Structure 1
């Protein structure tokens, strides 16, 4: 574990895997932190130096006044790479992390080798969804985060998975309850305002898009939209709700590795 000093505070990160291996950056979803990727670590660290970090406003990273912008979060990633002297890396982001990945693919392709966008879309939701959530979280604070945690189980996991692997579901949803209300609201605004629909064709790095068949937050249609607009993009779909990396586990990891290890 470590911290990189940004202008406004510290960004929390963790590096695992062989020191001389290619770097793979993993970017968390809204309301989680770097440990959402724990299930992937045994497989990924066989081949990569894995760099996980808590997005601004999450986990142990800085919480600055909102609203945030996806560009701002993308520049945090570039600052992290610069601080660790990493010239280029693979990048895999889920949901909000996938929006950050899109921004990087459009604006900083020289820093990327391959890009994986999971359970995301070029535009996620409407202001009518985000604004009431932001208002509630800022008004009710930690109590609102607990309520969001309880509601998120149905969005993040299919009912059969939530029942069969309740411990895994709880480990992830507890991250939401522990997230800073201010940080969460500021990141909700970043997701609300992001719209890359007209810019996707600017992505030229090799791309894999992953979707969950039962994902109501970012349905497969959003993944197909991205794939169709990025030349040569690959597409994969798993039986999962919003957090396919957790629910599809080993199959998710295997598909990502197959893509990243192509020459």
Structure 2
């Protein structure tokens, strides 16, 4: 398993789609939601493998990445992403982030937009919830752990119909939620408590697609419409589902990503499958 060793922690990452003889395919970087690991993007990797080289990683304190002592700031999460790109000598990527991963994408667009091509910001907001809410959440997790939150998390993340029809898929996501490091989860709650990019996202000049779940109680479609309106080149798309819309509407989500990122000048003509 590949890891990037950093001074205070290590990041687990995975690269897919780079073994088919087309090394110049565009890079697409995925950034997870709170309490998930890189496997939340399995359906995207399966569907988009012919078109991209894909980089996904476990955020600090999630999955197989280690957890430095909390609290964390949003800049810490953004700089982890940049450190990974630097270590792998990847100059520029398309970026897709969901929830806190979308906030990380916004931070990168503001502070390191030249490292990104197009940005998909999914089930996120320029400010998610309130500081008080996240402080209450981290204190609850410190006291009772994550298992106590699984039922409420399943309800927020997936529609009742999906919970009923796809219990295996839901269970897989919830297993990664419960396995998340307490320090990692608490540290990221602190980052969410302090994150407010509503003014700064107007500096994002990259093309942005804001994707909402049409029944998302965490980041409703209006939050994504607001992002699309505030950035310089934004559009909004709503898909069926709640917060983890990339899992619940995986096929439509993949079609949206492929249509948005497309081929363009980012792919040289020697990649015949992209013509």
Task: Give the Å deviation of 1:81.
Answer: 0.3
Aligned to 2:92: 88
Q: Per the alignment, in what secondary structure is the counterpart of residue 170 of structure 2?
A: helix
1:64 aligns with 2:68: yes
- Name the structure 2 match of 1:8: 8
| Matched-pair contact (CA < 8 Å) for 1:149–1:174 | no
1:43-63: per-residue Cα shift (whole Å, max 9, x none)? Answer: 221111100000011111120
Structure 2 match to 1:260? 261
1:119 matched to 2:120? The reply is: no
Unpaired runs of 5+ in structure 2? 265-275
1:190 and 2:191 are equivalent in the alignment: yes
**Which residue in the other structure is 1:154 paired with?**
155
Q: Does the 8 Å CA contact 1:26/1:91 hold for their aligned counterparts?
A: yes
User: 2:26 and 2:4 mapped to 1: Cα distance?
Assistant: 20
The TM-score normalised by the length of structure 1 is 0.97
Three-state SS of the structure 2 residue aligned to 1:255 is helix
Deviations 1:55-76 (A, max 9, x none): 0111111201111011110000
Corresponding residue for residue 204 of structure 1? 205
Check the 8 A contact 1:161/1:247 in 2, yes or no: yes
Deviation per CA, 1:30-52: give whole Å up to 9, x if none: 00010000111122211111000
Q: CA deviation at 1:262?
A: 5.0
| Correspondence 1:1-263 to 2 at 5 A | 1-18=1-18, 20=23, 21-140=25-144, 144-261=145-262, 263=264
Q: TM-score, normalised by structure 2?
A: 0.92
1:153-194 Cα offsets, whole Å, 9 max, x none, are: 000000001101111011111111111111101101111110
SS in 2 for 1:233: strand
- Structure 2: distance between partners of 1:63 and 1:255: 33
Shift of 1:100: 0.2
CA RMSD of aligned residues (A): 1.0
Partner of 1:208, secondary structure, is strand
Q: Which runs of 4+ in 1 moved over 2 A?
A: none
CA distance in 2, matches of 1:82, 1:246: 29
The superposition leaves residues 80-124 of structure 1 with CA deviations (integer Å, 9 ceiling, x where unpaired) of: 000000001111000000000000000001100111100000000
